[in-house]
Structure 1
Amino acid sequence: MKENIFISTSTSSDDETSCHSMEQNLNASQEIYSVNNVILDLLKLQSIFSNCESLIKQSQAPDFSEEIFLIETHSLCISLKNISTELETKCSQLLSSIEANRGNIISKNRSELISTDPSDNRKYNDDELRYLVDCGPNHEFLSSYPQNLQLKKKGKQCSFSSSWYKDFPYLEYSVKKDAVFCFSCRLFGAGPGAEKSQEVWSFKGISSWSKMTGSGGKMVKHFKSTAHMSSENRLLNFSQKKTNIDLMLIGGQREVDRKREQLLKLNEKIVITLLDVARFLSRQALSFQGDGNSEGNFVATIDLLRRHDPVLDQWFKDSSLRPYHVTYLHHDSQNELITLLGRAVQQAILNDIHKAQFISVTVDSTTDISNKEIYTIVIRFVKDFIAQERMISVMELNSKVGENISQSYDNALNMSGVNQGVQACLNKHLNRTILYIPCGVHSTNLVVKHGSSISIEYINFFGILQELYNFFEMSAKRHSLLCKNLSETEFGILVKDLSRTRWSDRYEAVRAVYISHKQIVDTLQEISENDSVKTTRQTAENLKNK
């Protein structure tokens, strides 16, 4: 039996609340019981399926008997069919019960309860009518209906039949009154074409079950009457009106969603443009922000793009319409864009490193122009058979003690030291001996440097190179004269300073003098003859003779 669940905004009495709670608990216990039955049937099916596995194994046995196998399989199929049929019936009944026990909504304008039972009919407002129309006719499906004993004695139709719903979809049955009503006449009976004689289908209900069916039966006469046709038309018009309102609401929501989607796409385009500008400036190693009141390269580049992109220009003009008037041109926003790009680049590098089978880590530090010790971490790996080097970190180093820096293969004392060097710190930190491999190139450079320093010829030779460099670079006049003579030849190279640590830099200094030897001698000759300063003429003559 269908139970009506009432919902009200008004405060009900203690008795009503108690009855209401008891009714809900009763319904809940019935539903749980039905669900438990379904679960039990599923467990039975699970057991049958496990028997299928044993039958399959049985068919592979050496003493396999076809007759026994077929008999057991046939028995299993019968059990499976019976349980499946019973399970389907229980699920259908449970779903019907859930659908039938859906509660009624709260009346928006009145504290009276809305019941779906047709015997509780009254005058409804538009909101209540919409709810009842959504619910549809009250079709009660019971296992048995109350019988009229007097009609039964006479051998006539003595009870309601749920099969009538199929032929007359607007027919309703009231459990409270054991009577039938007309759904459309009950809700929309008042109006043009209504007849007082039809009020029995709207308010009183019909409980005399004789002569209900047939060509001249009560139901056929009513549902073909003018009064019913009029109420049915009013019901359809009301439903159409409701549908139109819903469509208008849906259309309005769609328009809001469409505008929101357009705004999201526009904002996405703007952010991509800002990221592209930040990427361009970073790639070209250009500064973002200006000094003092100057706008800087970032804002200037955006202004340039705005002149050629009306959409971008309008977005910035509409900044006053947005919350907080955001434009993302503030230096904090610029720093955030730089951070995002840096993270993306670093993540791409890390992805390549994770895919590499072997990597090497190099850490080095040097003092920059502001006298800060800056250290870098460089990862070397192979990608697509090509050696790659990527710098993953650049930070200030507050101390050159090995415990503050990472792995390296340099021969510097802070790297190779047996006490505070990196290689020693790694051994202590990991509590095991790690093979220390000095940098081969750096070792070669140190050997050549210290080996050559004991040779008088080496000292004199590179001393002359340094004197040449100092002589020309300490005077703009002499430097200009040398450049003039070098420009007359295709392969002229300026003299180079000597590096204190890198042998390769000294090679470049020797190469410059070797290639430009004639132009250097000619320049020294010209200075020794024409310069107005006596000491300069003497120095040039001495260098030329060396």
Structure 2
Amino acid sequence: MDLLSFLAKYDDTLKNHFIDSTTFLSTSNRIQNNLIKCTADVEMDYIKSEIKKAPFVSIALDETTDVANLSEVSIVVRYVLDGIPQERFLKFLNVTSERTADALFKIVCDNISSLEYGSKLVVQSYDGAAVMASHLGGLQAKVKEKFKHANFVYCIAHRLNLVLSRNMDNIKDCKVFFLTLSGLASFFSKPSKRTRALDIHVQRRFPKVAPTRWNYNGRLVQIVFQYRNSLIHFF
């Protein structure tokens, strides 16, 4: 609605539509969701047509936790058209209730089936979690078993995070520093009494810490530094 209101300031047709129309404003949540779905369907058809022309395709999955504390998997495909690499984000899928290798394998197979590129799949890329990367029963092993040419490539961003983490672990002062900060984040994550005390006295919560995501540690350092005086007073 905010976007439509903004566009109406610069589009007389849209502006007059909102003023004069009495039967179809197209602003209800149901209609807007239908419009979004139509747009997504057109985009997906376009991606599918590109994939049909591409000689090879790779797929990348990454799991993250959103602001509502739900676990989601992002799906991205990459391919080459006329010598130019193309990368297309497809969707987010909620996997909070089921994050096993079998469940993720079904997601990959459904995606490959819907876009019809099973015979072209040459690369699969995920993070380093055992459910993803294990060569025994992990996702990459299951995909490799069904799609013989789908070589596994370790997630580059994840590898960089691990390199940074392992280097810091070998420097005693750095290791103690980050363990202390992550301890603060864990201590104030629960119970609710601690969280409420932090809200009252500091008015800022600590972000969750993930050992394989270096940017989470960076955010934590910035927040502690920014609110250091309030935290000292609170303690």
Q: Bin the TM-score by the shorter chain.
A: 0.5 to 0.7
Which protein is bigger by CA-based radius of gyration?
A: 1
Change in Cα spacing, 1:335 to 1:464, as seen in structure 2 (3 Å) is closer
Are 1:405 and 2:107 an aligned pair? Answer: yes
1:345 maps onto 2:43 in alignment: yes
Which residue does the alignment assign to 2:116?
none
- Tell me how large the CA RMSD over aligned residues is: 4.7
Would you say 1:435 and 2:151 are equivalent positions?
A: yes
8 Å CA contact 2:202, 2:231 repeated in 1: no
Structure 1 507/387 Cα, relative in aligned 2: closer, same or farther at 3 Å? Answer: farther
Aligned-residue offset at 1:433 = 6.2
Who is 1:148 aligned against? Answer: none
Please give the TM-score of this superposition, normalised by the length of structure 1: 0.29
Q: 1:104-138 deviations in whole A, cap 9, x for unaligned?
A: xxxxxxxxxxxxxxxxxxxxxxxxxxxxxxxxxxx
- Report Cα offsets for 1:201-222 as digits up to 9, x if no partner: xxxxxxxxxxxxxxxxxxxxxx
State the partner residue of 2:228. Answer: 520
Choose the corresponding residue for 2:165, options 440, 449, 453: 449
1:478 aligns with 2:195: no
- Give runs of aligned pairs for residues 89-488 of structure 1, distance below 5 A: 306=17, 308-309=19-20, 312-313=21-22, 316=23, 336-353=34-51, 359-366=57-64, 374-380=72-78, 389-397=87-95, 398=98, 400-402=100-102, 403-406=105-108, 407-430=124-147, 432=148, 434-450=150-166, 452-453=168-169, 456-466=172-182, 474-479=197-202
User: Alignment identity in percent?
Assistant: 26
Letter in 2 for 1:428: E
User: Structure 1 regions of 5+ residues with no counterpart?
Assistant: 1-276, 285-303, 317-325, 481-493, 528-535, 540-546
Q: Secondary structure at the match of 1:418?
A: coil
**2:25, 2:157 → 1: CA distance?**
52
Taking the aligned partners of 1:377 and 1:462, their CA distance within structure 2 comes to 31
For residues 71-102 of structure 1, what are the alpha-carbon distances to aligned partners after superposition, in whole Å with 9 as ceiling and x for unaligned? xxxxxxxxxxxxxxxxxxxxxxxxxxxxxxxx
1:370 and 1:496 map into 2 onto residues whose CA distance is 15
Judge conservation of contact 2:72–2:94 (CA < 8 Å) in 1: yes
Matching residue's letter, 1:376: S
How many Å separate the matches in 2 of 1:386 and 1:468? 47
User: How far off is 1:462 after superposition?
Assistant: 1.8
Per the alignment, do residues 341 and 366 of structure 1 end up closer, same or farther by CA in structure 2, a change over 3 Å counting?
same
Which position in structure 2 is the counterpart of 1:505?
216
Contact 1:366 1:374 in 2 (8 A): yes
Following superposition, the deviation at residue 409 of structure 1 comes to 3.0
For residues 344 and 368 of structure 1, the distance between their equivalents in structure 2, rounded to whole angstroms, comes to: 26
State the distance in 1 between where 2:158 and 2:174 align. 20
Structure 1 residue 356: Cα displacement: 5.8
Does the aligned pair in 2 maintain the 1:473–1:479 contact within 8 Å? no
Rounded to whole Å, the distance in 2 between the matches of 1:354 and 1:433 is 18
Q: Report the Cα distance in structure 1 between the residues aligned to 2:216 and 2:37, rounded to whole angstroms.
A: 36
Asked if 1 retains the 8 angstrom alpha-carbon contact of 2:78 and 2:88, the reply is yes
Is the CA contact (8 Å cut-off) linking 2:127 and 2:133 kept in structure 1?
A: yes
Task: Show structure 2 runs of 5+ residues with no match.
Answer: 8-14, 109-123, 189-193
One-letter amino acid of the structure 1 residue matched with residue 228 of structure 2: I
Work out whether residues 79 and 85 of structure 2, in 8 Å CA contact, stay in contact via their aligned partners in 1: yes
Asked which structure has the greater RCO (Cα within 8 Å, sep 6+), the reply is 2
User: Match for 2:106: what amino acid?
Assistant: N
* Aligned CA distance change for structure 1 residues 426 and 339 (closer, same or farther; 3 Å): same
Contact 1:379 1:389 (8 Å CA) reproduced: yes
2 CA distance for matches of 1:331 and 1:513? Answer: 40
Query: How many angstroms apart in 1 are the aligned matches of 2:83 and 2:149?
Result: 32
Change (3 A) 1:456 1:385: same
TM-score scaled by length of structure 2: 0.57
Structure-1 residue corresponding to 2:112? none
Deviation at 1:475, TM superposition (A): 3.0
- Post-superposition Cα deviations, 1:370-425, rounded to whole Å, max 9, x if no partner, equal 77654331124578998764322333444522432324332221222223222222
Q: Name the SS for the 1:361 alignment partner.
A: strand
